[in-house]
Amino acid sequence: MIYLPAMSRLTRREWSRLVFGGLAGGFIARPLARRNAARPDSRVSGVRIGVQSYSFRDRPLDGAIGGMKDVGLTYCELWQDHVEPSRTSGVLRVSREELRHWRLTVPLEDFRTVRRKFDDAGVRLTAYNLSFRDDFTDEEIARGFEMAKALDVNVITSSSNLTAVPRVDAAAQKYRITVGFHNHSNKDPNEFSDPQDFDTALKGRSKWMAINLDIGHFVAAGHDPLAFLDEHHARIVSLHVKDRKLNNPVAELPFGEGQTPIVYVLRRLRDRRWDIPANIEYEYNGGDTVAEVRRCFDYCRSALTA
């Protein structure tokens, strides 16, 4: 029996709408709930384990998405070369001017089509990786943000020059999209590598300027990613997970064979409940790409469930 204290105030029509509308809603909601519950999710112990699509650089976009499905990864940071002609044209790499022309004229519907491919595969896009360099025109930078909007992502990750940051910040404020700057292990005064590079670039900048911390490169440059994560987690929007040796700018290693504290970083995300995507970046010389990315995923999963 349904008990409504104010039932006497309801008309017969209102009562019918309430009861039958509620019943219909129940029949609709339950199948939807079942579908959502059955949707694959590579979140492990609360940590979003995803992949930088660069990990599947040996294949075009459709093959990369297929690889993610095979491994069971449901979060992805999309590498620009998986959609730009510099990659899709095969061994023929376009000139810088041709690439700029493509960026400024490509229909944004092409990016919406890319998003639909990921949606159909059950893979959630968390960011678009587009590296803003000093040779980008202002129009080219703006177009990058329009591409991100067409992909329906609110984060761009970027291996940018430090001197490009002011122009990127101006565009980020206009489009209201966060940009996480990515670090490398090579020491260059115009590249992100050391903690002070982030401090210098982000000081006085808007809230839309953030960090995409590559924990492997950070170790190879001689720094502690766990301590940096503790201090700057509020401004970190993405992690790249790989294994490197301390102060070694060259060697890429299978997970667990270097000195990057992958296990401790992942557990810090879990224990502190910091919802930062941890994206596998398979970069060492291995065998079959799908098998190697699966191996990386298994390592991360074991770290979080042990």
128 forms beta bridges with 78, 156
pLDDT reported for residue 86: 73
DSSP E strands: which ranges in 135-235?
155-158, 178-182, 209-214
Number of domains in the chain: 1
On whether residue 12 sits in a domain, the answer given is no
pLDDT reported for residue 37: 52
pLDDT reported for residue 194: 97
pLDDT means over runs of 10, the chain (306 residues): 34 39 40 56 98 97 98 98 74 82 98 98 98 98 98 98 98 98 95 97 97 98 98 98 92 95 98 98 96 98 96
On whether residue 6 sits in a domain, the answer given is no
Domain coverage including residue 119: 43-305
On whether residue 133 sits in a domain, the answer given is yes
On whether residue 33 sits in a domain, the answer given is no
- CB-hemisphere CA count at 13 Å for 68? 36
Give the predicted TM-score (pTM) of the model.
Answer: 0.86
pLDDT reported for residue 39: 79
- CB-hemisphere CA count at 13 Å for 26? 6
Q: Is 21 helix (H, G, I), strand (E, B) or coil?
A: helix
On whether residue 50 sits in a domain, the answer given is yes
On whether residue 8 sits in a domain, the answer given is no
280 forms beta bridges with 51, 241
On whether residue 30 sits in a domain, the answer given is no
pLDDT reported for residue 94: 86
On whether residue 284 sits in a domain, the answer given is yes
User: What CATH number corresponds to the domain at position 51?
Assistant: 3.20.20.150
99 contacts 133 by C-beta, under 8 angstroms: no
Which residue type, as a one-letter code, is found at position 56? F
